[in-house]
Each structure stands twice: as C-alpha cells, then as structure tokens.
Amino acid sequence: IRPEETAAKFLTALEVLREGRGTCTEHSVLFVALCRAMGVPARAALGLLGAGRRLVPHMWAQVHLGAWVDVDPSYGQFGVDGAHLALAYADVSLKELPEAERVLQMALANWDTAQVVRVRADGDVYLPEAERLWKEADKAEQSFKDDEAIGLLRRLISLPENRLTAPALYRLGVLLVRKGRKEEAEGQLLKLLEEFPGSEEVDDALYKLAEISYKKRALKFLKRLVEEFPDSPLADDALHREAEIYLRLGERGKAEEALRLLSERYPDSPWARRGRR
C-alpha cells in the first residue's frame, strides 16, 4: 500500500531510527532496506505473534547468513522465539507484499484455527485443526475411504506448517500410490524431501519413490537411502533391490557389489542370510 492510498500516518525512516517508534511493518521494512544497502540479503516475514493468550498479526525480518535467520527489529530479537508463527515470506516490494499478505489474511479468516497454536519446548508446533484432520483421515483410511482420507490430508497440508505436515505428505503419497495416481504421489513425496529433509519420513519416502520409479531412477533413490540413512530399517531392503535392478539391467558386477555390501553391513538381514545359503 502506498502512503497516498491511505489515511494512516507513516513515520519517516529518520523518525523510526531517532525515536524508536513505529509499527512492526515500519521497523521491518526499514531493517530490510538497511540490510540490503549493506549487501546483506534480507526479506520480510509475515505471520502471527503470541501476545498473552492471543495471536496478533505481525511482521518481522529475515537475513541470510548462510541460512535464513529470523530477526525482529520491533523487539530487538536476533533469532525469534516460539511466539512467532511465520505464514509467508516476501521481498519488500509493492509486487511481493500483497501476495504474501493474502496468506496472512487466509489465516485470519480462520482465526479459530490459528489462535490456539501450541509450541512445545522441542520446537514441535501443534495445531488442533491439524490434529483433528489427522485423526479423521485415519478413520477414513481404516474404513477404506481413501478418497475422503486424501481430501482430509490435503486440507491438513494447506494449514500453517506444524508437526503433522511432513507425516501427512508421506501418508498422502502412499494413498495416491494405492489409487494408481503415481505422478501425483511422486510430487507429494518429492515435496517432503525438499521441504522437510530432516523429518523421520524421509527414508520411507525415498523407498516409496524407488518403488514407483523406473529402474535407473529407482536406483538413484535407493542409493540415497543407503548413503544417507545407513541405520534405517529399510537400508538392507534398498541394497537388495539395487542388486535386483542391476541384474535386470544386465550389470552383474554392480549387482554383486550391492550384495557384498549387504552382507558386510547387514549380516543379520534376512537377505544376507539367504545369500549365504
């Protein structure tokens, strides 16, 4: 919004700096501008801020110091606390901010969902609406209503990021595979790998992607699983599947190498024991 398009009184940059007054928007926009003037990448973060028992709309900033770091100029915080719930990020420009604010407005339109967010000490974000949708999806799946479960999981994923977002992406991928919608499933599983690389579902997602991919592409996912998650209960299965695929491709040497690694790393695996018979 431009100053001339509203009756609101905007402070000048000098007033904000000199007097320490101003809205969170004025503080954040000025902070981002100063960072960029010094060559430091910066952007605005829009979301909600816990204030007592309420959540209020709030803007703060992020600077890129090898990774994006939250900074709240309004409160002098470097590295914000769990009271900040980010819903969107945007460049400080007339083009980007309105788009980001649409996400914020969607959250405010569902205020009863957003205002009861709980953040545990370990950083897990609990959304009661997400917890409800997860349970409803579970009931639907147990009743063999996969289409209903898929819809519920999509609604869960559309909520602000919370502790069930990554599990819901994996579960949605599995259901889509079951329905024969492999391209859609791949999209959800790849999104999980990209956006939640540290989640507990990553090794399962890699294995599921290998199951629905053609031979050489499947090998890529299997190798990544073995290399990045050697302690996963799926690692020995992944090596065995590697060997099977190499045999189908006529690459016997690589198949034997995969079986050798399987025997050395996972001697108690059923696949390794079968190979020693």
Q: Any idea which fold 215-277 has? A: 1.25.40
pTM of model > 0.75: no
Determine how β-strand 54-64 pairs with β-strand 42-51: antiparallel
Fold of domain 3-115? C8orf32 fold (3.10.620)
pLDDT digits (tens, 9 = 90+) for 12-41: 656 666 666 667 777 788 888 888 888 888
What pLDDT sits at residue 8? 43
Give the per-residue SS3 of 89-105: EECCCCCHHHHHHHHHH
* Bigger pLDDT: 24 vs 203: 203
- Classify domain 116-212 at the CATH topology level: 1.25.40
- Our measurement of the distance from residue 170's CA atom to the centroid of its chain's CA atoms, rounded to an integer in Å, reads 12
Give the pLDDT of residue 6.
Answer: 43
Q: Could you say which DSSP state residue 127 is in?
A: -
One fold for 3-115 and 215-277: no
What are the structure tokens assigned to 88, written together?
Answer: 């969107």
Sorted by where each begins, the domain ranges of the chain are 3-115, 116-212, 215-277
